[in-house]
Chain A
Amino acid sequence: MGKTWVVFKREYLERVRSKWFLIATFLGPVFFGFIAVVPIVMAAKTKTSTQLANVIILDATGTELGNRVAKTLENNNPNSPAPRVRTIKAEQVVEAEATATADVIGRQAIGYVVLDANTIAGKELRYAGRNATSLLDVQSITSATRQSLLTMRLEGEGLNAQRVTMLTNVRLEAKTEKIDDRGKEKASGLTSLFFGYAISFLLYIMIAIYGQSIMRGVLEEKTNRVAEVVVASVKPDVLLAGKILGSGFVALTQVTAWIVMAVTMYFVRVPILKAFGAAPAMVGGSLKIPSVAPLVGVALVLLFIFGFIFYASLFAAVGSMVSNQEDIQGAATPVMMMLVSSIIFMQSVLLNPSSTLAQVVSLLPFSAPIMMPMRMAIVAVPWYEIIGSLVSVGLGCAAAIWLSARIYRVGLLMYGKRPTIKELTRWIRMA
């Protein structure tokens, strides 16, 4: 035990002392914070384009529709230059469009709307402009037109114009809430989705980065020939255990530091977001840290530890198998594939966290450490599934340690070309 501690201490201290650790630990949150803040700021800024109403309306309907749309757009977007209506005949559309296009190119307008018989029939309107790819902008114009058309139709049925405006002026915004077995959650559904995504992505990143760093560390000990001095003093198993635990605690240290910084940032988020120019309304409501039940927290930590050990020991075995940098990527491919395969299913599990696929990938030892936490953040996973996942990952972890220790024992002192599968099997039997 004493010697495991010596190896652990060296591994931990050398990693924590390195420049990269400090940079990643302190700049990581800045980076992630940036990623989190930018969409909010962007959303706040681009919600309604200030140019939205700066359009030319080509009205070939022979009705009042063009003027009505113009008025609605103008009312909805008081900061934007007002729309201009060009009343044309149906056969003049092509010509009028050419003129309008020239105007858009000449920056007289941001785009033009074509209203014709199809629009009156309630089928379509056409829009062309610089912001045609902006879903929000196009949606705004569509709904303004829809509202105007509806008003016009209702008036045609003899309803009072003012009554119609009042009745049709419906601005709906969806506010979502998540319900699970425990009842309603405080945070919005979108937030827990984001939280689930963030957790599994963080786990993935940590396992990938630290796993590969252990792999390179083992290879370095091998190529430096330090390994032989060390295994003359301690058993390879002790060296392996000390290395994995040491790096694992570095990862935990880093995550803890990030969480502390994230929580701090959360509490001072208002001035930060304001500094970036986000609207105060945006800042207030949308961000809420989802609650994590203590048992769920324990399960999360256990999954992370098991998952980390699972991948770290496999990566260490890969590091001990090869003798030079060129071979290492190829040898690491099977382990990387396992790790990446769990991230491939992320999207579908995010969208449908209770599907059979989601249940399966959160039970397999190599994907469970990443997918299970995500499911747990989004939906209430039954306790037996969580236990099953932990047992499966625990067993997988034991198997990985057993296998890796055997490869490591033999590989550490083997130099030369990369072993074939057959040779590897012999190593495993030999150790």
Chain B
Amino acid sequence: MAKISLGRRSSTLADSEWLMTDSQNDPLSAISNMLDIISLSLFVSGIALIIAAIIGVPLGAMLALRQVIFKKIIMLIIYTGMGLPPVVVGLVVYIFLSREGALGWLGWLFTPSAMITAQVIIALPLVVGLTASAVENVNPELRLQIRSLGATPNQAMWTILSEARAGVVAAIVAAFGGIISEVGAVMLVGGNIEGSTRVLTTAIVLETRKGDFGLALSLGGVLLTLTLITNFFLLNLNKRK
């Protein structure tokens, strides 16, 4: 669906630069751009968070509750993973997903799928590590007592997770904050393509580069507000249960 605009244009290039209609000057398309960016940010980080939570919370609980061989080494790896620079994760994902990479055939590079992948990897150590820590802080006697009430090891794990829910919610909140504010990895694997992989953080970098500090700050404000609202809901989940 090509949009071709015919019209009189001045022949000299200098003048035509002046006459060039920039889509940013049109308020309606600016708003629609902004909405695209916001919804993509929420979509990418939301999906990544859900995947990381589904995998990471039970994993963290199992790590804390079961007799795992090499538990100390695994915890070391997880704690290191929590401090891993996100841009390094992005770089590795980029290498795997690029044309010559092992997973290049997936065709995910420069699509939201790649961004979600990178963000899941960034979020996972946070979710696993902080969940394990929260579960470890639950009274170990509890496990014995609920098992005596007939809980299977699986049922016991979910009950203990529920008791540790404050810490589990904190883990999820931390992970969300980490990935929605991340810029290096999503820039690398997403490409900041207008209309398909541009999110709030990469848009902020772009507007700053363009010298439009005012717009960059507004985008930053939107990002903060989104995080605030999301955390409000997440923390309420804690109370309602």
A, B: real partners: no
Which chain B residues have a beta carbon within 8 Å of chain A's beta carbons? none
